[in-house]
Amino acid sequence: MDYFTRREVLCAGAFLPAVIPAVMSEGEETRADTAKPKRLEEVGGYQIAEAVSGHPLAILPLGSLEYHGPHNPLGADSIIISGIAERVAVRTNALLLPTIMLTFCPSHTAHFRGTMSIRPEVMTSYFADVLRNTLQLGFTKIFVLNGHDGNIGPGRGAISEVAHQAPEAAILFANWWEFLPGEMVKKLAIFSQSNGGHGHGGPLETSSVAAFRPDLIHLSSAQDMPEPPDMSGGQPYFLQKSTAKNWPGYSGKVSEASAEKGRHLVQISEDGIVKLVDNWLAHPDDPGSW
Ligand SMILES: [Zn+2]
């Protein structure tokens, strides 16, 4: 995940809950937490045809291995997106592909020790091959569920390339953090930042990692940093610098992070993503957001 203000409006038609329930539905939470998705790597050779025909879509989660501050694991994005993808796969009866973790990381995090970055042109070709293989498996619908800003360019490039070559394919792409717009998160009043806690390694992201792996969060190792500046009033933009001077690799009031807040946020995102997928599957002939 990265700066929310860079988000692309990919999910213009996506549902966002107008009212955030104060208490999560325990029944839903329990069902999603205990049910396990069908994973591609667990499909027996003799079960392939059944696995494809028995699931309306395949989900491909995209993560990263990237420095997210001293308090977060390097696999922060991968942990969040794998956790959300598991639950979305259960709720949409999707076949779950393995999370791709070694991906492209932008210049402002690439120089931090611990970041593993693959060149964007390599990632575009790699993603395209994964998508082609998934289509050759027999799926016509693939949902690319993204957990990392650096995957947006290569991911969408690969999708465009493959969709052009396979006319029967439909490939959906969404970023989990875009289901948590800053204005909506602000209304939850769980973070004091004006942008709702967004930002690389910030309180929203740290809380979301903690929702799945609280054992990997070490808040005492980091101090609160200034929140990312709001340069556009919340509108999306993309700014890339070769270096980020005097930046410690994360931003925001990380002391406000907690697993409980993360579980609430992740649930909202998960519900919005499931709604998007359900709408997509229910209206296969609709053009989408264009
Ligand atoms: Zn991240």
For residue 193, what is the domain's CATH number?
A: 3.40.50.10310
CB atoms within 10 A of CB 240: 8
pLDDT at 21 over 80: no
How close is the Cα of 148 to the center of ligand 1, in Å? 6
CB 272 within 8 A of CB 16: yes
The set of residues, in sequence order, having a beta carbon less than 8 Å from that of 10 and lying 6+ positions away, is 173, 174, 175, 178, 289
Q: Give strand pairing partners of 193.
A: none
CB 185 within 8 A of CB 101: no
Average pLDDT over residues 141-152: 98
CB atoms within 10 A of CB 24: 14
The domain tally of the chain equals 1
- For residue 290, being part of any structural domain is answered with no
- For residue 14, being part of any structural domain is answered with no
Query: Between 141 and 23, whose confidence is greater?
Result: 141
DSSP H helical ranges for the chain: 26-34, 48-53, 76-92, 107-110, 120-137, 152-165, 182-188, 203-212, 259-282
How close is the Cα of 25 to the center of ligand 1, in Å? 27
- For residue 121, being part of any structural domain is answered with yes
- For residue 11, being part of any structural domain is answered with no
Query: Between 266 and 244, whose confidence is greater?
Result: 266
Average pLDDT over residues 51-80: 98
What is the percentage of the chain residues whose pLDDT exceeds 70? 89
Q: Compute the distance between CA of residue 21 and CA of residue 119 in angstroms, rounded to an integer.
A: 42
Residue 67's region, left for phi above 0, alpha for psi from -120 to 50, else beta, is beta
How close is the Cα of 47 to the center of ligand 1, in Å? 35
Q: Residue 245: its pLDDT value, please? A: 84
Interval 76-117: pLDDT, tens: 999 999 999 999 999 999 999 999 999 999 998 999 999 999
Tokens of 66: 């990237």
Measured CA distances, 37 to 52, 64, 131 (Å) = 14, 22, 20
Q: Compute the distance between CA of residue 90 and CA of residue 88 in angstroms, rounded to an integer.
A: 5
Average pLDDT over residues 116-122: 97
Tokens of 195: 């942008």
How close is the Cα of 112 to the center of ligand 1, in Å? 14
Domain hosting residue 101, numbered range: 26-232+244-282
State how far Cα 11 lies from the chain centre: 13
How close is the Cα of 7 to the center of ligand 1, in Å? 13
Q: Residue 226: its pLDDT value, please? A: 85
Average pLDDT over residues 178-200: 93
Q: Residue 115: its pLDDT value, please? A: 97
Q: Residue 6: its pLDDT value, please? A: 36
How close is the Cα of 12 to the center of ligand 1, in Å? 22
How close is the Cα of 290 to the center of ligand 1, in Å? 28
172 sits in which H/E element: strand 170-175
Interval 203-217: pLDDT, tens: 999 999 999 999 999
How close is the Cα of 140 to the center of ligand 1, in Å? 29
- For residue 252, being part of any structural domain is answered with yes
- For residue 19, being part of any structural domain is answered with no
- For residue 207, being part of any structural domain is answered with yes
How close is the Cα of 251 to the center of ligand 1, in Å? 11
How close is the Cα of 183 to the center of ligand 1, in Å? 20
CB within 5 A of ion ligand 1: which residues? 1, 77
pLDDT at 14 over 50: no
How close is the Cα of 244 to the center of ligand 1, in Å? 16
Q: Compute the distance between CA of residue 288 and CA of residue 285 in angstroms, rounded to an integer.
A: 9
How close is the Cα of 123 to the center of ligand 1, in Å? 17
Q: Residue 19: its pLDDT value, please? A: 38
How close is the Cα of 78 to the center of ligand 1, in Å? 8
Confidence grade of residue 20 (pLDDT, cut at 50, 70, 90): very low
Measured CA distances, 76 to 37, 53, 209, 213, 282 (Å) = 21, 33, 6, 9, 32
Query: Between 193 and 158, whose confidence is greater?
Result: 158
Q: Residue 34: its pLDDT value, please? A: 74
Confidence grade of residue 33 (pLDDT, cut at 50, 70, 90): low
- For residue 120, being part of any structural domain is answered with yes
Q: Residue 241: its pLDDT value, please? A: 86
